Structure 1
Amino acid sequence: MRVSIASEQTYRQLADALHRGVYAPGDRLPAERTLATRYGVSRETLRNALNRLADEHLLESVVGSGWFVAPEVVGEPPSVLQTFSEMARARGLRPTAHVLVCRVRAAKLAEADQLRVPPGSEVLELVRLRGMERTPICLDETVLPLDLAAPLLDADLEDTSLYEQLESLCDVRIHRSTYSVRAEVADAELAGQLNVPVGWPVLVGEEVGYSDTGRPVLVGATRYRGDAYKFQADLFRPL
């Protein structure tokens, strides 16, 4: 009976800490030994409380790495092309973006084919780390033809929507996107950027974005934390 009471009290204390934001989404909790000492309970009692919070999808256990606060999971509505910023705002969260790379270079052959420009044409390469509140969610890499995207070179692209900047500064509106999703694991560099362990599952969304005139205006690859993104689509069979 005492164990049950202790487990319930520990569960409530941990749940209260999570709801008060003591640990942010994606944060790693202190070691079990440390938590058990802090709450004055045995490791077994603590683990019962942690498992209960995991069953409620508030915590996640990663073998060899410990316990993590479950991140905010984002996803696109079926058949709707929605920006990262729109997904965040729809959930009442503040979208963030930190520019890691913004440079002009020559288009690679595959990029030139996708953008329908001559190989070697000048393109703008933009790499940004996107997040929601304090939680890093994805690494966003985008390539655009420089003749369309030149105004972005002088723009402040921190904490902004690229789609919105394209429309306001370049008079380019993304109308549709061809999109594919594949899985990979995070290497050391990506793991550090997304604040996850090396080998963490990552979902890679690759797209070609088209303007309302049908011209391809960007190619991109977005690497999402596998625990923070889901992709939805309506699929139809022909009549």
Structure 2
Amino acid sequence: MNSIYEQLKIDRTVPIPLYYQIKTFMIKHIEDNSLKDGELVPPEEELCAYLNVSRPTVRQAFLELVHEGYLNRIKSKGTFVTRPKIAGDFIQKIQTYNQEMQYYGLKPKTKLLSISEIDVFAEVMEKLKLTEKDKVICLERLRYADDKPIVYVKTFIPVKLCKGLIDEDLEQNSLYDTLKTKYNIEIAHINRQIHATVADPYLSDLLGIMENAPLLYITTVAYNQNDIPFEYSLASYRADMYKMNVDLYKDKYYK
């Protein structure tokens, strides 16, 4: 048992439910990283004996922590600490990945897996309004939050719009910022579609998840200030660490 649990003291003199005292203690130490992501939590019966509380008390605390995303129960293995999912606004805002992670207080990082110029193929040709003679830059990146892989992204960009992009440092520099400052390409609007899928062996290895684990698969077509499509991206987000946040407002003309 992590020694941090020695600091967990139940106060029976206050009108705060015992399960809630356990719950708030766990949240505090998960958020300050004293209890680390992936760490095995002591079994319910062990905590019951240590704290001299009933099993339903500990179970209630664990149930709420699981529901709120702080714990994850895996059958036949136990209960593990997990960080709550990132409630991303990616689906309703135009912003870079770095901006999004920094907004949530997370440290972004990008690993460039590959970059090359390739012949266009049917799917990309349709999305980017290209011809068979065009070439595209194919960019593969693995993106992290606090050193945990969150999303794998494959991106296609027409070579004719940004010759020389292949030589840029796209691990340390934002793709969108580079396109804006060096190629005068700014995002005017985007189209995104979300699908549910599962991890194949390649993605399970990259993202550190089980094969067939759920993923959020998001396709993006971005258009520049001249309404020309300049980017087609295919992103696979870990569903255990990322969720989409969408705010909807009633139209003032709706009756």
TM-score category, normalised to shorter length: 0.7 to 0.9
Given candidates 185, 193, 205, the residue that maps to 1:172 is: 185
Alignment partner for residue 181 of structure 1, among 194, 209, 232?
A: 194
CA positional deviation for 1:48: 5.8
Mark the CA change 1:80 to 1:18 in structure 2 (over 3 Å): closer, same or farther. Answer: closer
TM-score (norm 2): 0.75
Aligned residues: 234
Q: Confirm whether residue 215 of structure 1 aligns to residue 218 of structure 2.
A: no
Among residues 130, 149, 167, which one is paired with 1:136 in the alignment?
A: 149
Q: 1:61 corresponds to which letter in structure 2?
A: R
**Identity across aligned pairs (percent)?**
22
1:210 to 1:64, Cα distance in 2 relative to 1, 3 A: farther
Deviations 1:151-204 (A, max 9, x none): 321211114322112111222111111111010011222122222222221111
Q: Which runs of 5+ in 2 are unaligned?
A: 1-9, 13-17
Structure 1: stretches of 5+ with no match in the other structure: none
Change (3 A) 1:46 1:189: farther
| Residue identity in the other structure for 1:232 | V
Is it true that 1:205 corresponds to 2:206 in the alignment? no
The answer to which of 64-73 and 125-134 deviates more is 64-73
Give the 4+ runs in structure 1 shifted more than 3 A. 3-17, 39-42, 44-52, 62-66, 233-239
Larger deviation, residues 77-86 vs 123-132 = 77-86
- Aligned residue runs from structure 1 range 57-136, under 5 A: 57-63=69-75, 66=78, 67-76=80-89, 79-136=92-149
How big is the alpha-carbon RMSD for the aligned residues of Structure 1 and Structure 2?
3.4
Encode CA deviations 1:98-127: one digit per residue, 9 max, x unaligned: 111111111111211221111252110011
1:93 positional shift: 2.2
**Structure whose alpha-carbon radius of gyration is higher:** 2
**CA 1:84–1:157: 2 relative to 1, 3 Å:** same
Contact 2:89 2:100 in 1 (8 A): yes
Are the equivalent residues in 2 in contact too, given 1:186–1:201 (CA < 8 A)?
A: yes
After superposition, the C-alpha distances for 1:72-105 in whole angstroms (9 at most, x for unaligned) are 4131177432222221122232221111111111
On the 8 A contact 2:200/2:211 being kept in 1, the answer is yes
In the TM superposition, what is the alpha-carbon distance from 1:19 to its structure 2 partner? 2.9
Q: What does 1:16-35 correspond to in 2, within 5 Å? A: 16-24=28-36, 27-30=37-40, 32=42
1:74/1:88 contact within 8 Å kept: no
Q: AA paired with 2:69?
A: H
Structure 2 distance, partners of 1:72, 1:17, is 17
Structure-2 change in CA distance of 1:65 and 1:109 (3 Å): farther
TM-score (norm 1): 0.80
Q: Distance in 2 between matches of 1:127 and 1:174?
A: 20
Q: Does 1:157 align with 2:170?
A: yes
Structure 2 counterpart SS, 1:150: coil
SS at match of 1:191: helix
> Which residue of structure 2 lines up, in the alignment, with residue 192 of structure 1?
205
